[in-house]
């Protein structure tokens, strides 16, 4: 049986949602923002739904980082 937490090209959506659910501290959230900045392709597509939940948890001190991440995703400038 296939591992439901990963797909052929990386992790599935439930993996990223679980990571965001477990994030409690500002450091956890900052680490997730950094992780999301490293994703591309199918893995980034799988992580997109969790981005909404991450934005809800994001403290004001990290909002600029979150907005930068969203901008890079929307403009297609991730990892360029």
The pLDDT tens digits for 24-67 are 999 999 999 999 989 888 898 899 899 889 988 888 898 888 88
Provide the whole-model pTM.
0.75
pLDDT at residue number 9: 53
Q: Which residues contact 49 (CB under 8 A, 6 or more apart)?
A: 13, 16, 17
The per-residue DSSP string of 64-80 comes to HHHHHHHHHHHHT-TT-
């Amino acid at each position: 049986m296939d591992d439901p937490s990963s797909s052929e090209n990386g992790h599935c959506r439930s993996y990223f949602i679980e990571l965001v659910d477990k994030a409690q501290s500002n450091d956890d959230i900052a680490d997730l923002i950094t992780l999301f900045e490293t994703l591309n392709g199918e893995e980034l597509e799988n992580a997109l739904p969790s981005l909404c939940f991450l934005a809800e948890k994001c403290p004001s001190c990290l909002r600029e980082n979150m907005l930068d991440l969203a901008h890079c995703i929307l403009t297609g400038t991730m990892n360029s």
